[in-house]
Structure 1
Amino acid sequence: MDLLTRFTTHIYQRHLFTKKDRLLLAISGGVDSVVLGALCKRAGFDMGIAHCNFQLRGADSDADELFVKRLAETWNVPFYSIRFNTRVFAEENKLSVQEAARALRYEWFGELRKRELYDYVLTGHHANDDIETLLMSFFRGTGINGLTGIKEKNGAVIRPLLFAKRTELEQYLNEQSLSFVQDASNLKDHYTRNFIRNRLLPQVAGIYPEVEQNLIGNIHRFQEAYALYQQSVAQYRKKLVSRKGSELYIPVLLLLKTAAPATVLFEIISDYGFSAAQLPEVLALTESDPGKFIKSATHRVIRDRKHLIIAPLAAAAGSRVLVEAPGDYFFEAGTLKIRRRKKEGAIPVAADTAWIDARLLTFPLTLRPWKTGDYFYPLGMNKKKKVARFLIDLKLTATQKEQVWVLEMGQKIVWIVGLRIDNRFRITDTTGEIIEIHYKK
């Protein structure tokens, strides 16, 4: 069976999408994405092409963009492209370049899909990507979910080539005489994924020639095992956890009688900001005296006489400050100096100063500690993000997280004080008057 037939058969058997759907294809210009585009075109799907220029390789990045644009012209399909200052974004958000590129591209794909009325975003991930992801997760340390590989369908993102190996895509590329571009960084071993691809797997294959097929089979078995695992965890959760107001109660003796108390406990507490590294400490509470507790960024697990109690971190009494007008305001974490003035000079880069468009701000404001459920739109992004996740991404310590405050207008966060303003309140070229806020610890 040729690759095109296998491709279309796989799509319909897995109910991934149909001829009625509009598909936005993420095309980098490499082998996998070019083959994805060629297969979708030959199969007659309604498609458009999206290309990200991360500006990481100078003229080569621009050449890739031009190549993909011409590919779209050849196929007579819509073409969309965007350029990112990836290194700056990575530095500002304390991310690796790879993490930054991933965050930027998927956010843009989502926005583009909605704006241009596409049903799904398709990427060219294939079976070898799945294998590499499995091994990276295994070596880093992971639960069973980390052994299930790449999700074939994750919301509006679909990866329809996970059934095919890289060698099969390369063979199809040669058979169809398709052109592609080679990202030279894929040949370098300083990225973990490249090291696994270029050095580790070839050496293992020297001992186990069927290693790729065996690992693909393992991924499928892990996926089925994970489905059973989730059913079991759900049953234990229903049996163990009771809610009283905002608190969750877990009977200690009943927890310890389960077949895998540590695993069950982690699956419960991980929803409340607790990490795998904290699990031994939380589990030790089952043998501790009442009153002891372990904290995450948002919750405590407290040892009661008979229970472990998961409770939200309580805000300090009297911690809310009403900001009625520009002026100086003192609060537990420091001082805010708020002034109204004309927009003059360069936007400050220091994190302790925020410029807000005065047209968008209506007093009074509220200054308070952040809480679970808070979200905002980080500067430069049109997608909301939970404050808890934002603080995790900044890698703040638990103590640092407890000292974070937000400035709020109504139900909208204006500024996570000293860290990031909300994109909805940013200044623009049309801003004439600003509210300048300076934070001093």
Structure 2
Amino acid sequence: MLHELRQFISEKQLFSPDEKILLTVSGGIDSIVLFDLFLKAGFSFAVAHCNFCLRGDESDKDEQFVSDLAIRNGISFHVKRFDTSSFASDNALSIQMAARELRYAWFEELAQTFKYDRIATAHQLNDIIETTMINLSRGTGIAGLHGIPEKNGNIIRPLLSSSRTSIRSYAEENNLEWREDSSNIEEKYARNLIRHQVVPALKKLNPNLEEIFKQNTERFKGTEQLFKHHIQQYRKELLVPILNGHSISIASIDATPAPFTILTELLLPFGFNFVTIQSIYKNRFQASGAAYYSPAFLLQKDREDWFLTTIEQISEFEFTVYPESTLTVPTGTVHFQTISIESFKGFSNAQNIAYIDADKIDWPLTIRNWQDGDKFYPFGMQGMKKVSDFLIDLKVPVSQKKKISILINKGEIVWIVGFRTDKTYKITDSTKKILIATFSPLIQDLDNII
């Protein structure tokens, strides 16, 4: 088994011989076997033990047992007692989740304080089987099928290739002593129910269950890697950056090999749950306006697209604009520069740049959010038009309209920022100075979300 452990550590590159390991030891058979293997392998390690104070005298005896083991073998020992029940109650967590949060937070604290390179836990092959069963019973994506990773950041699990049977055989052959946790027989916990009822039934169907799960786990990992690679490509193609978010073409989603699966993988990182995504997909052909929320994002259907934006309240705003300045507005930044007509090198077709007759400007200007009733004379169009109608004609998403800014001169609209100027301020043969206003939209960085 020592050879198997060394081989697994090397194959999975869990740690190098010169690294210092924090070994988490509960006193149960798995962690005691891992302790013995680390000792025989000559690894540099220290021991950490959590006393969750949930089983009275039994918890204290576990602590004393692990302490004696570490001291007897000259191994550095860390111990901490937790008021797990109070923490669970205060944070609305189950006892199991509370214990998990407490122990991993403390392990990380120890690693940083004492410069441990890795934190080793004693999870083994049967834990993968149980975790996979739990994930399947609760609902899972492909990631839930491979159970527990052998390496996650600085957390390593060197025993994952060893079954519970082989671990017990090693412990008995080497006359090891360990502590039995009485709570492990209580079937009110999902993991114990699976361990004592489901796994034995499956082993009747296939006595080589552990080996089959080991093989399947490797297959699932490879499948997940391929899946993630292709999903990342779809994210780049289908999540189109817009002001403060992204647009998603419904037709483009439907053109993929598995539309609902692709949409699910696109939206899960934004906090949308599976049920909500089902509703989004089912109602994709209904009228515009349907809105769906995650804790931090809004997805809104508008015509043939979904628009994904952050949830934020845009209150009314108004800023004073001075010559040669740069101003930040909710949708980006606007830079103002005045040049002479002699320095002008020609117009750009980009709609984010406005060319304004500076001789008609009375500084300072104002930038504010547009309001109902605002009207202007759009350059290149006939007559006056309401800003609201102009934005509708351009099919600006409902979620974006309230963020649009307008540039004001003496109460008149000069520019719908990023869209269209008022023809009153167009450049003519008599223009002597040109105000160039350049809008740089705030495009959300997808990599910071995914």
User: What is the alpha-carbon distance in structure 2 between the residues aligned to residue 203 and residue 290 of structure 1?
Assistant: 51
Give the match for residue 144 of structure 1. Answer: 142
Tell me the amino acid that sits aligned with residue 95 of structure 1: L
Q: Distance in 2 between matches of 1:18 and 1:199?
A: 39
2:328 maps to which residue?
Answer: none
Q: In structure 2, what is the equivalent of residue 348 of structure 1? A: none
Q: 2:297 is matched with which residue?
A: 299
Q: Distance in 2 between matches of 1:314 and 1:73?
A: 56
Aligned equivalents of 2:33 and 2:271: distance in 1? 40
Q: How far apart are the structure 2 equivalents of 1:9 and 1:155?
A: 20
CA offset at residue 19 of structure 1? Answer: 1.3
Kindly provide the amino acid, as one letter, of the partner of residue 269 in structure 1: L
8 Å contact 1:52–1:82 — kept in the other structure? yes
Deviation, 1:12, is 1.2
The CA deviation at 1:18 is 1.3
Q: Alignment partner for residue 109 of structure 1, among 103, 107, 110?
A: 107
Q: Which moved more, 1:8-17 or 1:80-89?
A: 8-17
**Structure 1 CA distance, aligned partners of 2:84 and 2:16?**
34
Contact between 1:19 and 1:44, CA under 8 Å: does it hold in 2?
A: no
Rounded to whole Å, the distance in 1 between the matches of 2:7 and 2:212 is: 23
Q: Which residue of 2 aligns with 1:205?
A: 203
Amino acid in structure 2 at the alignment position of 1:91: S
Q: Distance in 2 between matches of 1:128 and 1:288?
A: 48
TM-score of the pair, normalised by structure 2: 0.69
Q: Distance in 1 between matches of 2:234 and 2:107?
A: 38
Q: Deviations over 1:235-260 (max 9, x none)?
A: 11111111123211111101111011
Q: How does 1:28-427 map to 2 (within 5 A)?
A: 28-315=26-313, 317=315
Q: Are the aligned partners of 1:130 and 1:149 in contact in 2 as well (CA < 8 Å)?
A: yes
Alignment deviations for residues 357-409 of structure 1 (CA, whole Å, 9 cap, x no partner): xxxxxxxxxxxxxxxxxxxxxxxxxxxxxxxxxxxxxxxxxxxxxxxxxxxxx
- Bigger drift between 54-63 and 303-312 goes to 303-312
Output the amino acid matched with 1:302: Q
- CA shift for structure 1 position 228: 0.8
Counterparts of 1:159 and 1:291, CA distance in 2: 49
Q: 1:213, CA displacement in angstroms? A: 2.2
Q: What is the CA deviation profile of residues 228-285 of structure 1, one whole-angstrom value per residue up to 9, with x for unaligned ones?
A: 1111111111111111232111111011110111111111111111111211112134
**Greater Cα offset, 101-110 or 306-315:** 306-315
How far apart are 1:310 and its partner, in Å?
A: 0.7
For residues 180 and 206 of structure 2, the distance between their equivalents in structure 1, rounded to whole angstroms, comes to: 29
More deviation, 157-166/299-308:
299-308
Deviation at 1:141, TM superposition (A): 1.2
Give aligned-pair identity as a percent: 37
Q: What is the letter of the counterpart of residue 192 of structure 2? A: N
**Structure 1, unaligned stretches of length 5 or more?**
320-441
1:92-124: CA deviation from partner (whole Å, max 9, x where unpaired): 111100010001000000011100110000000
Name the SS for the 1:287 alignment partner. coil
Cα distance in 2, alignment partners of residues 284 and 274 from structure 1: 15
TM-score normalised by L of structure 1: 0.70
Runs of 4+ displaced beyond 6 Å: none
Residue by residue over 1:151-202, the C-alpha shift from the partner in whole angstroms, topping out at 9 and shown as x without a partner, is 1111110001100001111111111111100001111211110011111111
Q: Secondary structure of 2:307's partner? A: strand
- The CA distance in 1 between the partners of 2:21 and 2:293, in whole Å, is 44
Q: Could you give the per-residue CA deviations for residues 285-329 of structure 1, whole angstroms, max 9, x where no partner exists? A: 42121221111111111112221111111226279xxxxxxxxxx
Contact conserved, 1:285 with 1:303, CA < 8 A, in 2? Answer: no
**CA displacement 1:318-347 (0-9 Å, x = unmatched):** 79xxxxxxxxxxxxxxxxxxxxxxxxxxxx
CA distance in 1 between counterparts of 2:230 and 2:156 reads 28
SS of aligned partner of 1:206: helix
Q: Which amino acid aligns with 1:284?
A: K
Once residues 190 and 213 of structure 1 are traced to their aligned partners in structure 2, the CA distance between those partners, rounded to angstroms, is 28
Deviation at 1:216, TM superposition (A): 2.5
RMSD over aligned CA atoms reads 1.3
Which amino acid in the other structure matches residue 212 of structure 2?
A: N
